Structure 1
Amino acid sequence: MYLGIDIGTSGVKAVVIAADGRVIGQGHAALTVSRPQPLWSEQDPEDWWRATQAAVLAIDPPVRRSVRGVGLAGQMHGATLLGANDRPLRPAILWNDGRSHAECAELEAAAPDLHAIAGNLAMPGFTAPKLLWVRKHEPEIFAATRTVLLPKDYVRLKMTGEKASDMADSAGTLWLDVARRRWSDTLLAATGLDASHMPRLVEGSDVAGTLLPDIAESWGMARVAVAGGGGDNAAGAVGVGVVADGDALLSLGTSGVIFVATDTYRSNPAGAVHAFCHSLPGLWHQMSVHLSAASCIDWVARITGAPGAAELFARAEVAGPGAGNELFLPYLSGERTPHNDALVRGAFLQLDNDTDAGRMSQAVLEGVAFALADGLDALRGAGTVVKQLSVIGGGARSHYWGRILSAAMETPLAYLRGGEVGPALGAARLAQLAVDGGDPRSICVSPPVDRVVKPDPDDIALLAPKRAAFRAAYPRITPLKETTP
């Protein structure tokens, strides 16, 4: 059996699978995010470690004893700064932190070849601009920094004592030469760093270390190998068999991601499309990324008094597609694809005296769907062909939302059995490959399809005017950010 651990933003999930991919055991522990100032989003790295241990120990002891390898997945881009003693110097700056928007322009000026080497625009979510911010605003911490790790790689250090990272997660730093799959001295120098600050690079299906004796003992496991693993999206793709050119998925977690596997490196920074390495050798991927997806569901449930997401979906379904004129722009944490705008914020528009919780809920489902449709358009504008999307993540639980998403994107959605397990499943499969070898396409197979949601022509017609209004609304709200402190 193989253990996959996913260090997410809202929690850590641990999953044990059998060799045939069946889920044998699961554990979960919650995390919280600190937002001490506008645009800031931080977590204490030690909280990741505490949650990881809690999630693993929630799995039955006999299942843990059977584990033969461990894989890691995690939230991308987080800047975890370690001093000479390998302890964090400050809270980690997360993927949805927007404070370094000014430093993005500085990075692009300092590294004119950034787009060609990293394959991406400089965005505040990426790791490199965060280090420029720290160098400017916290110079004593920057001077004391000896290592920069991504979130899951800090957990790896605690588990194995090894400083290592995989290609897929490292591609999201803006320090990787993505085509050549190695650190770029040029991009590191542009942020005042060099290769000594970086972890060793491995492929996601390679062995990156071994459990330390005390960790293995406390977890009731042997000193098994720990695989390179992957960033959450790449690992999620491995988990649902998106491992061949043209395979595509939609991840509905805290953020929303459309992910397309490619057998060559294809960058399109002009459309704010990400081009990263995949977690398997010889593969890359393109992504459109939306910083708020299922997080919008939790937010509107809270402000409308819904006891949870299920009740919110039920209220929205009563209202129905296209109900009312309400529009929701889901930019609660800014946006990446296609706008690359860290400062824009969400908005409700077209509210009236008849607006109620049901119509607001429906507008939120539609707003996230319209944003995802914008991202899919950006991918298609880059020449990427997407015929169907496999759906994973917590948002995959709602059948009704699938109906709205499919109509907004005018694309069939395949809901996979166990798709809500997400990146932890892919991490476990990468552990299996690291320990046993084998052909990734025979091991990383797609789970059975529970249902396919096809775009309903009536829903498309109901949503079309609102999507047009949604696309017209973004440029009209952007002046407001100039007045926001």
Structure 2
Amino acid sequence: MGLAWLGIDLGTQGARALLVTADGSVLGSGAAPLRRGRRDGVRHEQDPGEWWEAVCAACRAALEGTGTGLGGVAVCGTSGTVLLTDGAGRPVSPALMYDDGRAAAEAGRLRSAGLAVQDTWALPKVRWLVDRYGPGRVAHQPDLINARLVGGPVPADSSHALKTAYDVERDRWPDITGLPAGTLPDVVRPGTRLGEIGAAAAEATGIPAGTPVVAGMTDGCAAQIASGALRAGAWNSVLGTTLVLKGAAVEPVRDPTGVVYNHLAPDGTWLPGGASSVGAGVLAARFPGTDPAALDARAAAFEPSGAIAYPLVSPGERFPFHAPRATALLLGDPVSDADLWAALLQGVAFAERLCLDYLHHLGAPLDGPLTFTGGAARSTYWTQLRADVLGRPARVPRRTEPALGMAALAAYGTGAAATLADAAEGMVRTGTTTDPRPDRTARYAEPYARLVGELESRGWLPGAVARHALARLHRDTPGS
């Protein structure tokens, strides 16, 4: 049996591990939940010690009984999640999650100093943590795991460091972070070999000692790799707890507001995109314990819904506009749970369309294929609805996990593929393609236009962006 590569995805609700061969065969998988997090208003923390426990459990399950050679391992985490550690890599603060909003004041001061950061980005949160817990060394979510895997502190990858304001174009930290010397880690490009699995980690995870550990990327980038959307003009929409859009471009997509940012791919090309605060997390919050498939079936009677939603999972919006004070929006009164469910599904799709309209406004290349990944891609109904609202075909690979993207990155980083795109395309299995239904696309034009107008009237969506979105809508939707 040939080599396989292990991808690890450390998300909001759990850890996932996949053992994958170069041709995309999944030899093993494992998952473990995260239960000790705390979310209260703008506060969202997790216990970093639980991350390691979950990663160990997921890896042991993925590797159990496989008996194959392991070529390498890479880890992804949530973008903007950060904590402080001591010199040995041990946590000295809680982990502030990607959407923790308590550092708004620090973010404002950084923007006044000239840095284009959002309130929930990692750099403001680092300053907030230093003020309360004292000096320490910054660790992003995978940094902590990688340090445990190799037995000591490791450099951060530039993908996770991006929201800590690392300048990926100039390959350096900015001079105006306001942090004590030694707080920020060294940074390397994704795909760089960080070290090897140590004896203690091998015992805890089941990963053989000596296995190469490769610098990863954020979960959004990992899902993009898993989708195969790495050629210029291709885009991947990751819909899980929240919504992330990532594309591929030869040059960075410039956005002076910082709403769209650009990750640097291992080969030196660019992965522009943004992360919204809308997503499927609102469904679990509004309908705990429900059967999503049953509500999907009932929602088909409400196309469009009698209500219009902008379903933020947590306060504040980051993409397709920057509005720290934005709150969840519901216009109209749903007549039933099914109508409300339909409104929420449609609202996420409207936000997704607005994201693409904003990218078009910035001049991003959008002429390649669109793929859907993330947990929501398992819903056939929602996938069709999203294609209808967007008015364009969408591909769903057979496997949509970010852990698959990390397996491909591990293969590239250990020299098993000439390019990351080659590694991804070898592992990604083609699934289904969903075509939009023109009559349904036309149905959603009016509620989408109403939502755009409402977002503009509240001062959240800039007028120029609203006008661009409506102009695209009228041009692309017959009869609108």
- Same fold, TM-score > 0.5, yes or no: yes
Task: State how 1:204-243 maps to structure 2 within 5 Å.
Answer: 204-220=190-206, 221-243=208-230
8 Å CA contact 1:203, 1:281 repeated in 2: no
Q: Is the 8 A contact 1:328 1:349 kept in 2?
A: yes
Alpha-carbon spacing, 1:40–1:218, altered in 2? closer, same or farther (3 Å): closer
Tell me the residue number matched to 1:273: 260
Equivalent-residue separation in structure 2 for 1:217 and 1:47 (angstroms): 17
1:199 aligns with 2:185: yes
Within-5 A mapping of 1:65-80: 66-80=69-83
Deviation at 1:448, TM superposition (A): 3.7
Residue in 2 that maps onto 1:301: 287
Q: C-alpha separation between the residues in 2 aligned to 1:402 and 1:33?
A: 32
- Deviation for aligned residue 1:131: 2.1
Match of 1:316 among 299, 318, 324: 299
Aligned to 2:347: 367
User: Aligned residues: percent identity?
Assistant: 28
Q: How does 1:135-174 map to 2 (within 5 A)?
A: 135-136=130-131, 138=132, 141=133, 143-145=134-136, 147-160=137-150, 161-174=152-165
Q: Is the 8 A contact 2:118 2:258 kept in 1?
A: no
Per the alignment, residue 117 of structure 2 pairs with 122
Please point out which of 8, 30, 37 is paired with 1:5: 8
What code does the residue aligned with 2:261 have? Answer: H
Alignment root-mean-square deviation, CA? 2.1
Cα distance in 1 for partners of 2:256, 2:35 equals 32
Question: 1:307 and 1:216, CA in 2 relative to 1: closer, same or farther beyond 3 A?
Answer: same
Find the aligned partners of 1:206 and 1:79 in 2 and give their Cα distance.
21
> With structure 2 as the length reference, what TM-score do the two structures score?
0.89
Distance 2:39 2:402 in 1: 29
1:332 matched to 2:332: no
2:272 equivalent in structure 1: 286
- Deviation of 1:85 after TM superposition, in Å, equals 4.6
Q: Equivalent residue for 1:467? A: 448
Q: Per the alignment, in what secondary structure is the counterpart of residue 222 of structure 1?
A: coil
Write the distance in 2 (CA, Å) between the matches of 1:41 and 1:269. Answer: 28
**Structure 1 position 173, deviation (Å):** 1.6
Q: Which residue identity does 1:281 align to in structure 2?
A: D
Please state whether the residue corresponding to 1:49 is helix, strand or coil.
Answer: helix
Partner AA of 2:397 in structure 1: L
In the other structure, the counterpart of 1:400 is 381
* 1:378 maps onto 2:358 in alignment: yes
8 Å contact 2:242–2:313 — kept in the other structure? no
Between 360-369 and 343-352, the greater mean CA deviation after superposition: 343-352
Q: 1:226, CA displacement in angstroms?
A: 0.4
Give 1:144 deviation, angstroms.
Answer: 3.0
| CA apart distance, 1:248 | 1.2
Q: For 1:352-363, what aligned pairs fall within 5 Å after superposition?
A: 355-363=335-343
Structure having the higher helix fraction is 1
> What do residues 36-74 of structure 1 show as CA deviations (whole Å, max 9, x unaligned)?
542111111111111101111122423265322111111
Structure 2 CA distance for aligned equivalents of residues 36 and 294 of structure 1: 16
Would you say the 8 A contact 2:56–2:204 is kept in 1? no
Map of 1:134 onto structure 2:
129
1:261 maps to amino acid: A
> Is the Cα–Cα contact under 8 Å of residues 409 and 423 in structure 2 kept in the other structure?
no
Cα deviation, 1:395-417, whole Å, max 9, x if unaligned, reads 11011111221122222211112
**Contact 2:228-2:425 at 8 Å conserved across structures:** yes
Distance (Å, rounded) in 1 between the aligned partners of 2:118 and 2:174: 20
Change in CA separation of 1:310 and 1:478 when aligned onto 2, cut-off 3 Å: farther
3-state SS in 2 of match to 1:72: strand
Separation in 2, partners of 1:172, 1:57: 31
Aligned to 2:392: 411
Aligned pair count? 451
Give the distance between the partners of 1:126 and 1:271, measured in 2 at CA: 11
Structure 1, unaligned runs of 5 or more: 115-120, 480-485
Q: Which residue matches 1:443? A: 423
1:18 partnered with 2:21: yes
- Asked if the contact 1:65/1:222 (under 8 Å) is kept, the reply is no
Q: Which blocks of at least 5 consecutive residues in structure 2 are unaligned? A: 461-480
Counterpart of 1:26, as a letter, is S
